[in-house]
Structure 1
Amino acid sequence: MITQRNTHLIVSARLISDFGAFLNMVALATYVYLLSNSAMSVGIFLASRVGGGIFASLIGTRFYRRWQGRAPLIAFDLLRAALLGLLLIIPASQQAWLLPLIAFGLGLGNSMFAIGLNSQLPRLIAPAQLLKANAWITSASSAAMVGGSLVSGLLVAAFGFETVFALNALTYVLAALLIVPLRFEKNDVSEQPQRGEWFALRQGLRSVPVVAAMLAVTMADTLGSAAHNVGFPIISKLLTPEAASTTLGLALAVWASGKLLGARIASHLKGSENSHLERRFFCGVALMSCGFILMFQQHSLYGLLLFALPAGLGDGLPKSA
């Protein structure tokens, strides 16, 4: 009964947290571009957000070995809510220097929340239910991408940025409230690696060259993702100057829908021995890259949305391989 209750709370918290993450990804990227009218400012903002996520990936494992349970998860939710609250009390004319710091904090909070929740699943859910719970979490995260991306642009167009920032802060507070009732099993086993994670990674890459190639492609994919994240608000404003946020939200929603579809297709393609996963990974990356290249060659909203779908479809395949 506790497992089922924890599963419902975790899936709901992850759904709301990821919804909030994509809500502010669309709103803030557009806000920065409209505020500065500079692609460089958008690049700095998004680089700061990615930097926060990278920093979280470096410290996440050690952090959650020392501090476990509900408190860190709640703290990172409240941190994200507080950062967005700053945009409601600080005048827009004084926000230019603050936005990269907010972006870094949001990237850090998003990644640390996800790392903390995923790493503690064995203490929250019975082993027999972990696979099913992971499937629900993945589906909730994908649905949040679609919903957050689509709703953000529509809310900005209808009510303005301040309303979206306030609503976004509330989503993180709600996610924190859903974490409070979680019940953790005692962690009796200390998982301290003998030589460290980096040693294990190096050994794994040497023994399986194809994994090294996949990692190299993934790193290049990350660089490309940063570029198209900068390009999204710019092309949205170029195509529809009067409704850039709505266009950005629609494009990301179609992309996220394609990603969800790609993940579902990949789950049905997997055989009992997970054969041909490497080939599927590289094909997915190629499809995603071609989709994004064609997206940014379009001169109409319909063309943009048309190629956003295969870009997301390709993105979903390697993530599930």
Structure 2
Amino acid sequence: MPILTIESTCDETAAAVICDDGSVLGECVATQETLHEQFGGVVPEVAARAHVERILPVIDTALRKAELQGADLDAIAVADRPGLAGSLLVGVVAAKTLAVAWKKPLVAINHLHAHLYACQMASDVSVYPCIGLVVSGGHTSLYHCTSPLDLEYLGGTIDDAAGEAFDKVGAMLNLGFPGGPAVSRLAAQGDPKAHAYPRSMLKEPGYRFSFSGLKTAVRYSIAPPGVKDFSDINLSDQAKADICASFQAAVVDVLVAKSVRAVKAYEAGFLIVGGGVAANPVLRTGMQTAAEQNGFQLVIAPMNLCTDNAVMGAIALEKMRRGQFAPLDLDITAGLQRGF
């Protein structure tokens, strides 16, 4: 029997109906880009209110696409961590309510683990044991994964996440919202060697990341110290492209190097990469080149499963096979960056 999965950790409201073999019967994602564009970033209160408005229509759409009703489901699964508190609450309350109304068991999903599970869904063979990299707007984290549910946190960002740094650079260059994809598009026209930006913490042992220093270096490429309003800074299109390309190269170099370090340390045969920044074409190319040079297999989440979605909630099937169900007093665990 199929399950219903619900995702509302940040600014996408999503639901999917998934069979026990992993096939998707129906899904729906409602984005909030236009709501947050005027603020230049995601506003938690705005996001939560938008989830309240969209959660039931999104669930209804996924069920109608699957041509199923609540009685046909085997369980209700929902992401309860990590993410924005208000956003998480909307999804969890909806899931618990439906579980009671439809008399179905509840399954709790770790959003970051689900991003990595999207890689397994795209692979014809088991990717475990492996090293997993989640790289997104709120997270840059490395794991040693012995199964979809058994993950050892190796390290992550101590400040800005990679995707957050992309968005902030986009904002400084007035590229619009979301800034990350705009930076990537403009970088394709630039010279990645135009600026010698720092590869932060690359020589430090371990698996910690830091992108705030890189972001500051970019800021001083745009305007001198003391200038707070970048709207009057007139950079040519080529100058902006060179900044974007050099910034992107610095981020990719660090992500690739730390991932390869973990693969070698744990003698892993696979590296899996998930999250919104996994859609970046330069990162995908860099990771593939590293895999070929170092003799490991690379599995990156498909483009449609990089950004937040409910299909990756199929990881709930793994928990159900272990009998890991959640109580009806399930609470959220908010947070954005470290330790999950």
Same fold (TM over 0.5): no
TM-score (norm 1): 0.28
TM-score (norm 2): 0.27
Structure having the larger proportion of residues in strand: 2
Structure having the larger proportion of residues in helix: 1
